[in-house]
């Protein structure tokens, strides 16, 4: 029995509609997936397989959650299943892992499928936005680099301003003293008398201060530029401590401060630039004497520490607040900025010298200040 003509027309229309739909699905620039009521895929179109890097047949029963990037998996699954239970549409931006290991960014969207009010599953799409995300990430990297460069430029400007201000202040006083001494020498009738000798001593002392400031500026400039160099050699700590005691004991006695150097027996030799190491000790001891009141103590100690030699300079002064401990080694840092005593370069130079030796330096405060630094060991004595 032949089928009625209207039936053949309806069947043909249905086949044509299916063919159009199949062509649309296969040519779609979006990944298309059909899922059952349990949310598991039952169909991928070619674009979906391309995005995943694996065919639907090879994917087998692997749940879509396993393809989602581990960092996004919980968030995506929680939001999708909540939408599925409510039978409503869903969308999210997330990453999944391509079969070759690449990370693919997508916008995932799903909607429930109903036939005569009966819920039979879900249809979903995947839109590849990897290039967009990579472009956004590149813009963020460029912005971060620009901001870092701006901060560096601002820091350099601030450093320059601080340098100019400090140099101007530090040079003003000795230059004024020199000018006054030279003027007094010019007016005196007896250049060789005691007054002239005293004035020349003032000139000499202030010239030394200016030379020391210029040397400090050159040191901190090299440290900041990463070009600071040392000339290490195998040396014993003991003679250097004796020299430090000999140099500073008279000054300490003059201001009523007890000063001593202590060292453990059998300390190994260290690999160090003797002149630079003496500069470190001189700076730390001079600071300790400056901030220790009359009747106080300043002690230099050398001892083994974690396979290295540790040298500390301790005082019984006011100490350093914990919140400032990380900034004391910054260039131009000053304990008392109201007096502007010194350019604030010393501790920055000390840190640069210690680190150039491969050591570390830090400050502790417990009823006073203790600056402690380490030096790598050489041969044992």
What pLDDT shows up at residue 276?
93
Q: Is the pLDDT of residue 198 over 80?
A: no
160 phi, psi to nearest 5 deg: -60, -45
Spatial CB neighbours of 252, under 8 Å, sequence gap ≥ 6: 258, 259, 289, 298
C-alpha to C-alpha distance for 9 and 283, rounded to whole angstroms = 102
DSSP line for 214-281: HHHHHHHHHHHHT------EEE-HHHHHHHHHHHHHHHHHHTT-EEEEEE-TTPPPEEE-HHHHHHHH
- Does 5-128 carry CATH code 3.30.70.3270? no
The pLDDT confidence band at residue 316, using thresholds 50, 70 and 90, is very high
**Rounded average pLDDT over 44-59:** 80
Q: Is the pLDDT of residue 40 over 50?
A: yes
Domain residue limits, the chain? 5-128, 138-225, 233-376
The pLDDT confidence band at residue 94, using thresholds 50, 70 and 90, is very high
Identical fold for domains 5-128 and 233-376, yes or no, is no
**Rounded average pLDDT over 257-279:** 93
Q: Is the pLDDT of residue 29 over 50?
A: yes
C-alpha to C-alpha distance for 312 and 354, rounded to whole angstroms = 13
Question: What are the structure tokens assigned to 345, written together?
Answer: 């370069």
Q: Return the CATH class of domain 138-225.
A: mainly alpha
Q: Which of 7-16, 113-122, 204-213, 261-270 has the lowest mean pLDDT?
A: 7-16
| Higher-confidence position of 334 and 105 | 105
Torsion-angle region of residue 293: left (phi > 0), alpha (psi -120 to 50) or beta?
Answer: beta
C-alpha to C-alpha distance for 10 and 14, rounded to whole angstroms = 6
Q: What is the dihedral of CA 283, 288, 290, 296, to 10 degrees?
A: -150
Spatial CB neighbours of 18, under 8 Å, sequence gap ≥ 6: none
C-alpha to C-alpha distance for 155 and 9, rounded to whole angstroms = 81
Q: Is the pLDDT of residue 162 over 80?
A: no
The pLDDT confidence band at residue 66, using thresholds 50, 70 and 90, is confident
Distance from chain centroid for Cα 61:
47
Q: Is the pLDDT of residue 4 over 70?
A: no
Q: What is the mean pLDDT of the chain?
A: 82
Q: Is the pLDDT of residue 245 over 90?
A: yes
Q: Is the pTM of this model over 0.75?
A: no
**Rounded average pLDDT over 109-124:** 91
The pLDDT confidence band at residue 380, using thresholds 50, 70 and 90, is very low
Highest mean pLDDT among 56-65, 96-105, 178-187, 348-357: 348-357
What pLDDT shows up at residue 205?
72
C-beta separation of 184 from 356 below 8 A: no
Q: Is the pLDDT of residue 340 over 50?
A: no
Q: Is the pLDDT of residue 45 over 50?
A: yes
Highest mean pLDDT among 19-28, 222-231, 337-346: 222-231
Q: Is the pLDDT of residue 329 over 70?
A: yes
Q: Which of 27-31, 62-66, 196-200, 347-351 has the lowest mean pLDDT?
A: 196-200
Q: What is the pLDDT of residues 96-112, one digit of tens each?
A: 888 888 899 999 999 99
Q: What is the pLDDT of residues 360-371, one digit of tens each?
A: 999 988 789 999
Q: Is the pLDDT of residue 113 over 60?
A: yes
Q: Is the pLDDT of residue 349 over 60?
A: yes
The proportion of the chain whose per-residue pLDDT surpasses 70, expressed as a percent, equals: 78
What pLDDT shows up at residue 377?
85
| Higher-confidence position of 184 and 267 | 267
Architecture (CATH level 2) of domain 233-376: 2-Layer Sandwich (3.30)
CB neighbour class for 346 (10 Å; exposed up to 12, middle 13-18, buried from 19): buried
């Amino acid at each position: 029995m032949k089928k009625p003509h209207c039936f053949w027309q309806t069947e043909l229309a249905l086949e044509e509609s299916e063919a159009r739909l199949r062509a649309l699905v296969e040519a779609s620039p979006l990944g298309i997936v059909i899922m059952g009521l349990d949310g598991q895929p039952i169909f991928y179109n070619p674009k979906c397989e391309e995005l995943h890097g694996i065919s639907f047949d090879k994917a087998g029963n692997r749940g879509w959650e396993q393809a989602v990037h581990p960092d996004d998996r919980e968030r995506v699954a929680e939001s999708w299943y909540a939408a599925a239970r409510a039978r409503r549409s869903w969308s999210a931006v997330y990453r999944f892992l391509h079969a070759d290991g690449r990370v693919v960014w997508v916008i995932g969207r799903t909607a429930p499928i109903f036939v005569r009010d009966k819920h039979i599953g879900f249809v979903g799409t995947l839109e590849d936005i990897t290039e967009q995300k990579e472009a956004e990430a590149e813009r963020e990297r460029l912005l971060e680099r620009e901001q870092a460069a701006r901060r560096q430029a601002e820091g350099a400007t601030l450093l320059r301003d601080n340098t100019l201000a400090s140099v101007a202040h530090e040079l003003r006083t000795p230059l004024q003293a020199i000018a006054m001494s030279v003027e007094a020498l010019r007016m005196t009738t007896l250049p060789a008398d005691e007054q002239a000798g005293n004035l020349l001593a003032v000139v000499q002392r202030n010239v030394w201060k200016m030379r020391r400031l210029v040397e400090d500026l050159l040191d901190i400039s090299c440290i900041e530029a990463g070009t600071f160099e040392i000339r290490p050699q195998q040396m014993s700590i003991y003679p250097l401590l004796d020299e430090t005691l000999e140099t500073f004991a008279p000054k300490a006695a003059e201001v009523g401060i007890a000063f001593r150097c202590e060292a453990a027996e059998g300390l190994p030799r260290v690999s160090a630039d003797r002149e630079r190491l003496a500069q470190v000790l001189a700076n730390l001891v001079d600071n300790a004497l400056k901030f220790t009141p009359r009747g106080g103590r300043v002690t230099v100690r050398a001892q083994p520490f974690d396979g290295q030699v540790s040298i500390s300079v301790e005082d019984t002064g006011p100490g350093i607040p914990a919140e400032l401990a990380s900034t004391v080694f910054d260039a131009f840092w000053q304990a008392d900025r109201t007096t502007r005593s010194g350019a604030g370069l010393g501790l920055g130079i000390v840190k640069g010298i210690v680190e150039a030796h491969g050591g570390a330096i830090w400050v502790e405060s417990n009823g006073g200040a203790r600056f402690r630094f380490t030096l790598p060991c050489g041969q044992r004595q």
